[in-house]
Amino acid sequence: MADAQNHLIELLPGADRERLLASCEPIRLALAEVLYERGAFTQHAWFPIDSFVSLIAQVDLHPGLEVGMAGREGMLGAHLTLGVTRAPLHALMQGPGTAWRITTDNFREELARSAALRSSMARYTHVLMALLATSADCLRFHLIGPRLARWLLMSQDRAQANHFCMTQEFLAYMLGVRRVGITAAASALQRRGLIAYRRGELTVLDRGGLETMACACYDADCKTYGQLL
């Protein structure tokens, strides 16, 4: 149980980590599984291990737009640390795998008992706010190609693999663009030898090349996380 495989939990002192994990259970999560509905009461907090989730903003009847991700570097349910029980964003599993799950009540109890957990959650909440702001800037000012490269790097970081399943429809949904734009951007990356894409199967061939192609937001995200966590 001591091997949490989630960075935020691993940052905790041994006793705090063991106590938190004793209140958690490992859960297997499926692709496209919904963990939070926007505005719904939050029953659990989640600490991904080898899974990752898309945080999606929804306005009116529009399909939604991804504004953030959470994988083993973070958690889902940061709003609980602010005393808020309603989920501010739609949370959709983007990468299937496992996660630690803890009930809202137990998570609040651990927050009250552990100064280290409160400090870690405060820093992570700040990081998450910075990432959400960066995503807004990225959507407004950057072209589809660099945004797609950034998104693929973020996904690869959390998937901890070079190969993952990804349809163009899903990419268009996540980036808030038409499918034709994704087709053109993905084709350009493939012609450069940076990725291979076939029938929903995507492989990163040249990570360094993707980093060169990505907008500055990816590097900004990494620096923000590295400085605080």
Residue 27, pLDDT above cutoff 90: yes
User: What confidence tier does 44 reach under pLDDT thresholds 50, 70, 90?
Assistant: very high
Tell me: the pLDDT tens digits for 158-208?
988 898 888 888 888 888 888 899 999 999 999 999 999 888 888 999 999
Per-residue pLDDT for 211 more than 90?
yes
Mean local confidence (pLDDT), 26-39: 95
**Joined tokens for residue 49:** 């291990």
Average pLDDT over residues 45-69: 89
Q: 61 vs 11, which has greater pLDDT?
A: 11
- pLDDT of 66-94, one tens digit each? 999 999 999 999 999 999 999 999 999 99
3 pLDDT higher than 80: no
DSSP 36: E
Helix (H) or strand (E) holding 47: strand 44-48
Task: Answer whether 7-133 and 142-228 agree in fold.
Answer: no
Question: Confidence class of residue 124 from pLDDT cuts 50, 70 and 90?
Answer: very high
Give the mean model confidence (pLDDT) for residues 118-129.
96
Predicted confidence at residue 199, as pLDDT, reads 80
Six-digit token string for 30? 């499926």
Check residue 148 and give its pLDDT. 94
The CATH number of domain 7-133, selected from 3.40.50.10490, 1.10.760.10, 2.60.300.12, 2.60.120.10: 2.60.120.10
pLDDT at 165: 82
Residue 2: per-residue pLDDT: 46
Please give the distance of CA 138 from its chain centroid, rounded to a whole number.
Answer: 16
Confidence at residue 169, expressed as pLDDT on a 0 to 100 scale: 85
Tokens 């927050």: give the residue: 111
| pLDDT band at 1; cut points 50, 70, 90 | very low
Domain boundaries, the chain: 7-133, 142-228
142-228: in CATH 1.10.4080.10: no
Q: How far apart are CA 21 and CA 1, in angstroms?
A: 7
List residues bridging with 100 in a β-sheet: 26, 47
Q: What is the dihedral of CA 119, 155, 33, 76, to 10 degrees?
A: 10
Q: Residue 138 in contact with residue 192, Cβ under 8 Å?
A: no
Give the residue from 27, 5, 155, 8 showing the smallest Cα distance to 99: 27
